Structure 1
Amino acid sequence: MSNLRRTALALALASAALVMPCNVSAETLAGAMAKAYQNNPDLNAARASLRAIDENVTIAKAGMRPRVNLVTQSELNRTNLDVGQRIPFSLRRGARREEVFTSSYGLTITQQIFDGFQTLYRVKVAEANVLANRESLRANEISILLAAVESYANIARDQQILVIRKQNIAFLQEQLKASGARLDVGEGTRTDVSLAEADLAAAKALLTAAVSQLKQSEAAYVQIVGEMPKGIKQPASAKKAMPASLDQAVATGMRENPNILAAMRSVDAAGYNVKVAEGTMLPGVSLQGDVYKSVNSEEGPADNISSSLSARLTVPLYQGGAEYGQIRQAKEQLGQRQILVDSARMDVQRTVVSAYAQFEASVASISAIGAQIEAANMALEGVIEERNVGQRTTLDVLNVQQNVLDAREDLAISQRNAVVASYSVLAATGNLTVRSQDLDVAEYRSEVHYEAVKDKWFGLRTVDGR
């Protein structure tokens, strides 16, 4: 093994030891996704929002249930019995008065019998919106998992670039020493030394930038995952649930992407809203029962209990034209939602094709750059040997070394792009989920809360006891 290769290997091992933590505490990509799924505050907020939307079903069903009110009323009647008689002022203080205090209390129960099917369709609107928002939540989950993948891959890339730039500094320091030694024995020039010094200074600036970029990537990781990164390693591209071809990826996306499914559920809700608006033109029937007990003073009438039952039929004839405007508005909103489904499909197709193309390009780039690095390293060895016998200059060595450096950094970037693009394909097809990736975390089941609250008649506490 040549001295150059021994030096490069030693530098690589030393630099890797500086930036790579112990394997015992190493975090895997799957572990990072699981923690993001469980800890991310934006995702937990979206889940809370869906739980609030679940309550709209209960609110809508309230229109089918009776309304019960407790009514109480008190009244004091005072009558002056001496009005119209001439009584001296001195005797008026003893004038006769009659005071009667009456009070009543009772229950009023109102039950809507028929309201033009408005309540029925309001319930269907609420149910369709729950299903649409479940898909939106799934889209949020996929987005957070993809963000975790991206932040993890960014750190792996930045760590590699940091190692490469540290190795480059060590290489340039060796070249600076060699240039100084040749100058001392009269084989080199001061220009060679200056070139080595300039490249070394530029390399230190690049190292500072690499450290800064790594810190930024770590901060983004903490924001998404909720913990500091530990032992990040170069992840592999996605394999589980990965479509075998572009056509399969597009077909899966059209079938399972949550944005498309959410848009379709919104169409259902808009269709039911048209029925709600049309229901305002139909007659309504309601029943009302009242039970009252009156409690009177001794001077008043005797106590009594009264009850009544009434039915009310309302036939809307003309409401100023508002009912017609509401129906037309609901129909236009339905048309808009139907157009948005087509827009969602086109967007998903574009995203799938773009991600798949980027994945294929990154894989091809990794293979090409690998061959480029091998050739560049061989060229660098040859140029150094030629420089040592006076056939090349220090500038030639530095130029070739820069080629090696650029190729190695390009490889780290391409590896990152391949990982992110592969998981982007899964995200676009709707398959980047806890279940498809076998993540070690409990899957959030939104239907549990829905089933617990959809038919509740009473209660102030939430399902989790708040």
Structure 2
Amino acid sequence: GILFSAAQAYMNVIRDRQVAVLTEQNLQFLTETARAARSRFEVGEGTRTDVAQADASRAAAVASLSAARAQALASAALYRQIVGDEPGKLKGASPVAKLLPSRLAAAVGVASNEHPAILATQHLVDAAAFSVKSAEGALLPQLSASAGVSSAYRNTSPLPGVGSQDGTTNSASVGATLTIPIYSGGRTSAIVRQNKESLSQARIQVDVSRDQVRQAVTAAWTEYTAAQQQLTANRQVIEAAKLALNGVIEERNVGQRTTLDVLNAQATVITAQINQAGYEHDVVVASYAILQATGRLSVDRLGLQVAKYKPEEHYNAVKDKWYGLRTPDGR
């Protein structure tokens, strides 16, 4: 739905902008590292290999920054397409945990009772059942009645020697017709069987819709819980990686580590930070995916201050019109 696409586009912009900022910070760090490696080489404390490794890492960071900025612009363009406005400065979002069921079984139960796809197929079953009854009605006798009253007035000029019948003539008629189907070449029976098969197909489609909704709810729920666990674990990864990086830098300064060790430690830090931005994005998007899978992703439940489309208003505006080409809004 459009609401889920908007939420996903919103979080994509936030994530990709964070990745671009982190990549830029990584480039600044690697630039300083390359400068320091070159300074140590000039005073005889480092090697040409250290300088080459630092320059290579910096060049890769430049390419990564270009790709990250391009991705951020692409996400902003998609946001503009879906929402209709430029993203501007977006605030951080949090998962809609308060609107979610407490457990997976409850989410599946809610979806089975409220999801529009399931409700739509159930209405199709009702429509198919009425079609069967209508087709069976063609096998029943049909009785029709008719009645009529007429009045005629006649005034002619009489001819010599010819009698005249001028005046008013009134007549009335009443009739009844009973039609009993005897033989239709099998057409009526075939239509009944066809509609019964369509009814069976509609009932099967209800089960198919339930299975599809159950799968979607389960997938969204597992993604949500997995993203939460990954987010929590990755915070510890970031803390440990930063501590390790500071230690490696200190050890490099006293000659116990090489520039390559520092570059590897920095790569671990930046990777963990980028992963953190992705996990934060996944938690929020998965929470909205659960709402969508259960059929509860709506303007009312989210409390959005937007104009809500009400189809009954359009229907009430045109249901009694016999003619006219204008739409309810005057077009």
TM-score normalised by structure 1 residue count: 0.63
**Aligned-pair CA distance for 1:320:** 2.2
CA distance in 2, matches of 1:239, 1:306: 82
Match of 1:460 among 306, 312, 324: 324
Q: Any idea what the Cα deviations from partners look like across 1:194-221, whole Å, max 9, x if unmatched?
A: 1111111111111121122112212221
- Most deviating of 338-347 and 211-220: 211-220
1:263 aligned to 2:132?
Answer: no
State whether structure 2 residue 217 is matched by structure 1 residue 334. no
**Aligned partner (choices 171, 178, 182) of residue 317 of structure 1:** 182
Shift of 1:223: 2.0
Q: 1:221·1:228 contact (CA, 8 Å) conserved in 2? A: yes
Residue 459 and residue 292 in structure 1: after superposition, are their counterparts in 2 closer, same or farther (change >3 A)?
Answer: farther
Change in CA separation of 1:287 and 1:452 when aligned onto 2, cut-off 3 Å: farther
Note if 1:442 corresponds to 2:307: yes
Counterpart secondary structure, 2:300 = coil
Instruction: Describe the shift of the 1:447–1:307 C-alpha distance in structure 2 as closer, same or farther (beyond 3 A).
Output: farther
Q: In terms of mean alpha carbon deviation, does 227-236 or 190-199 score higher?
A: 227-236
- 2:284 corresponds in structure 1 to 419
- Cα deviation, residue 287, structure 1: 4.6
Q: Deviations over 1:144-186 (max 9, x none)?
A: 1111111111111101100010001111100010011001101
Q: Name the amino acid aligned to 1:356.
A: W
Query: Are 1:188 and 2:52 matched, yes or no?
Result: no
- 1:272 partnered with 2:160: no
Q: Cα–Cα, structure 1 residues 404 and 305, in superposed 2: closer, same or farther, change >3 Å?
A: farther
| 2:220 is the alignment partner of 1:362 | no
How far has the Cα of 1:465 moved from its partner?
A: 4.1
* Pair 1:252-2:110 in alignment: yes
Distance in 1 (alpha carbons) for counterparts of 2:288 and 2:305 = 18
Do the aligned partners of residues 176 and 305 (structure 1) sit closer, same or farther apart at CA in structure 2, a change above 3 Å counting? Answer: farther
1:393 and 2:222 correspond:
no
Distance 1:244 1:314 in 2: 62
Conserved? CA contact 1:370–1:411, under 8 Å: yes
User: Could you say if the C-alpha distance between residues 170 and 281 of structure 1 is closer, same or farther in structure 2, counting changes exceeding 3 Å?
Assistant: same
The reply on whether 1:373 has 2:242 as its aligned counterpart is no
How far apart, CA to CA, are the structure 2 residues paired with 1:316 and 1:244?
60
- TM-score of the aligned structures, taking structure 2 as reference length: 0.88
Q: In the aligned structure 2, how far is the partner of 1:290 from the partner of 1:212?
A: 84
Deviations, residues 24-67 of structure 1 (Å, cap 9, x unaligned): xxxxxxxxxxxxxxxxxxxxxxxxxxxxxxxxxxxxxxxxxxxx
* 1:23-62 mapped onto 2 (5 Å cutoff): none
* Rounded Cα–Cα distance in structure 2 between residues aligned with 1:201 and 1:427: 43
In structure 2, relative to structure 1, the CA distance for the partners of 1:231 and 1:291 (3 Å cut) is farther
Residue type of the alignment partner of 1:146:
F
Q: Give identity over the alignment, percent.
A: 45
Equivalent residues in 2 for 1:38-437 (5 A)?
Answer: 143-284=1-142, 285=144, 287=146, 313-437=178-302
Contact 1:160 1:412 in 2 (8 A): yes
Q: Judge which range, 189-198 or 232-241, deviates more.
A: 232-241
- Distance in 1, Cα, partners of 2:93 & 2:149: 72
CA-based RMSD of the aligned residues comes to: 2.6
Q: Which runs of 5+ in 2 are unaligned?
A: 153-165
Q: Which runs of 4+ in 1 moved over 6 A?
A: 288-293, 304-310
For 2:138 and 2:330, the matched residues in 1 are separated by: 39
Question: What is residue 63 of structure 1 aligned with on the other side?
Answer: none
Shift of 1:453: 4.6
CA distance in 1, matches of 2:149, 2:60: 90
Q: Secondary structure at the match of 1:435?
A: helix
Q: Which amino acid aligns with 1:408?
A: Q
1: CA distance between counterparts of 2:171 and 2:30?
A: 101
- Please say if residues 240 and 436 of structure 1, whose CA atoms lie closer than 8 Å, have aligned partners that are also in contact: no
More strand by percentage: 1
| One-letter identity of the residue aligned with 2:236 | A
Equivalent residues of 1:158, 1:214 under 8 A apart: yes
> How far 1:268 moved relative to its partner?
0.7
Cα distance in 1 between the residues matched to 2:95 and 2:269: 25
Q: Which letter maps to 1:282? A: L
Deviations 1:237-284 (A, max 9, x none): 113422122222111111111111111111111111111211222344
State the alpha-carbon separation in 2 of the partners of residues 308 and 430 from structure 1: 63
Q: 3-state DSSP class of the match of 2:273?
A: helix
Superimposed CA distance per residue, residues 301-348 of structure 1 (whole angstroms, 9 cap, x where no aligned partner): x9x999987665544332222211111111111101111111111111
Unaligned runs of 5+ in 1: 1-142, 294-301
Is this contact kept in 2: 1:237–1:418, CA < 8 A? yes
When the two structures are aligned, how many residues end up with a matched partner? Answer: 316
Distance in 2 (CA, whole Å) between partners of 1:290 and 1:189 is: 118
- Where 2:309 maps in the other structure, the secondary structure is coil
